[in-house]
Every structure is written in C-alpha cells, then in structure tokens.
Amino acid sequence: MGSVKAELLRLWKWPATWVLIGVWLVMTLTFGYLFNYLALNGGTNTRDLSQQQLISAMQPENVGAAVVRGLPMFGGAIILVLAALAVGSGYGWGTWKTTLTAGPRRISAMAGTLGALAIIVVLLVALTFVVNLGAAITVASVEGWDWSLPGAGVLEPLAASLLIAAMWTGFGVFLGVVTKGPALAVGLGLMWAIVTENLLRGVGSLLGPVESLTKVLPGGSAGNLAGAVGGSGAPGVLTDLGGTTAALFLVGYVVVFLGAATLLKVRRDLV
C-alpha cells in the first residue's frame, strides 16, 4: 500500500498527468460534441451523417458510446503517453534508483506504479464519462430534445473503455521499462498507435494475412471492442471481430505487456 500511496502522490502532483487528462477531455468534447453540434446547426456534413445520427450521437443516453469510441486511437495514444512518461521518466530522473533502495521489493514497487496508474486511468475514464454526460445534457437541453439518462447498459461501454485504457497503459508501461527513458517510449508508442497500425491496415487491403493480423493487433483489438459495444464514427473503431474475441485479445495484451515489464523490472540490473 505504501508504494501505491507514494506513486499516487507523485502522479497526482505531476502537471503532466493533468495536462494529458485535460487535453483528452478537450479533444473528446471537441470531436464528440462541438463539431457535431456545429454540423447540426448549419455546418456542412461531410460524413453523410443524417441529422438523426448526429442527434443520436449527442444524446445523453448514448454517452457510453461517446466515451468508448475515442479510446482505440487518440484516447489510447494519450493514455500510452501518460504511462510511458510515468515509468520512463524515472530512469532519467534517477527516481527508480531511489524507489528501489527505499525498501519495497521490486515487484511491490512495480505494483505500486501500476496501481497508481490504474487509479489515474479509472479517473480519466470516469471524468470522460462525466464531462461527456454534462456536454450531452447541455446540448440536449439547449436544443430542447427529449432526453433521458443512460441506463445500466452504459456499464458495457464503460467496462470496454476501461479494458482498452488498461491495454494502452500496459503498452506504455512496457515501452517505458524496455527503453529505460521517456522520449523513445513515447515516440515508439505514438508511432505504433497512430501510424503503424493504420499503415498495416492499408497494406492489409492488398495482403490477406496482414489484414487478418491487423484485426488482432493492440489498436485493432481495441477498435473492435469499441465497435462491438456501440462506438462508431471515430478513427480506429472497427467491426471485424466480436466483442468477446476482441476483449480476450485485449486481456492477453494487458497480461503480456505488464508481465513482461514487471519481469524486466525485477530481473534487470539498475545501472
């Protein structure tokens, strides 16, 4: 518990945590509500979305879908950056050395970092939900729509959001430990999340095996899970796999990323 408390204290007071959460919240509001609202009120709709689709996307009862659809790509990239920075920076600042000589076992120290990151990520998803719900209620009230609060069904997209966020967190942690620094970890992570998987999807249209592979890569699995629980109309959201299959792949990635990172952390010399 001491390790979680320590990590939470330092992540809570880290400006980067709040800058990244803030950027994500602005993005989700801008792309999820502001642009849709402007399109609905005289903008040019270039995505061939009907008015009814735009209204539906902004309805408070559909806020779960609004949360999950941003996470496979851009939200995931932000979470990955947060995790990679949280772990990788410790090498540059020398804080891993301080941490590992403080007393806890290496595995406990790592568990502390993961526990604190988990709390931050749950908070991020919760804030995304609350902010999106607030925006949806505001738009619905201003437009005079009939609206209702989301029911228990919202738990499914929220659980999917958490699983997607956990996968990107694990990926960031893994990169931070492997590269032993923040810069390369963030660079590689962003390239993977935003560039590499999209390029592979492009190649996939020419090569069947590559196309099959892209569906189960980290971003692909995240996109498929988002698609399966109602997320749509955002980059990275896919509908090639069933929700259970995509979720199982994501669980596998979480286990592999965190397992490999912890094993490396425990066994590798800190020089």
Partner 1 sequence: MIVTTEKLTKRYGDRAVVDEVSLSVRRGEVYGFLGPNGAGKTTTIRMLLGLVRPTSGTASVLGEAPGTPRALLKVGSLIEGPGFYPYLSGRDNLRVHAARRGVGRPHVEAALEQVDLVGAANEKFRRYSLGMKQRLGVAAALLGQPELLILDEPTNGLDPAGMADMRDLVRALASQGQTVLLSSHLLGEVEEICDRVGVISQGRLVAESTVEQLRGDTVLLIRADPIEKAHVLIEGSSLHGDVLHVRETDAGSLVRTLVHADVDVQEVRPLRRTLEEVFFEMTGVA
**Which residues contribute to the site for partner 1 (CB under 8 A)?**
2-3, 5-6, 9-10, 13-15, 93-105, 109, 112, 269-271
C-beta of residue 241 within 8 angstroms of C-beta of residue 216: yes
Instruction: Quote the least distance from Cβ 270 to partner 1, whole Å.
Output: 4
Instruction: Quote the least distance from Cβ 4 to partner 1, whole Å.
Output: 9
Instruction: Quote the least distance from Cβ 175 to partner 1, whole Å.
Output: 20
Closer by beta carbon to partner 1, 6 or else 194: 6
Instruction: Quote the least distance from Cβ 144 to partner 1, whole Å.
Output: 46
**Residues 79, 85: Cα–Cα separation, whole Å:** 10
Closer by beta carbon to partner 1, 21 or else 55: 21
Kindly state the greatest CA–CA separation across the chain.
63
Instruction: With CA atoms as reference, report the closest residue to 39 among 246, 233, 223, 251.
Output: 233
Closer by beta carbon to partner 1, 15 or else 208: 15
Instruction: Quote the least distance from Cβ 107 to partner 1, whole Å.
Output: 11
Instruction: Quote the least distance from Cβ 121 to partner 1, whole Å.
Output: 20
**Residues 253, 256: Cα–Cα separation, whole Å:** 5
3-state secondary structure 82-144: HHHHHHHHHHHHCHHHHHHCCCCCHHHHHHHHHHHHHHHHHHHHHHHHHHHHHHHHHHHHHHC
Closer by beta carbon to partner 1, 95 or else 205: 95
Closer by beta carbon to partner 1, 92 or else 235: 92
Instruction: Quote the least distance from Cβ 92 to partner 1, whole Å.
Output: 9
**Residues 254, 251: Cα–Cα separation, whole Å:** 5
> In Å, how far from its chain's centre is CA 98?
29
Closer by beta carbon to partner 1, 34 or else 105: 105
C-beta of residue 147 within 8 angstroms of C-beta of residue 60: yes
Token pair 């996307």 in the structure block, residue: 57
**Residues 129, 100: Cα–Cα separation, whole Å:** 36
Closer by beta carbon to partner 1, 3 or else 28: 3
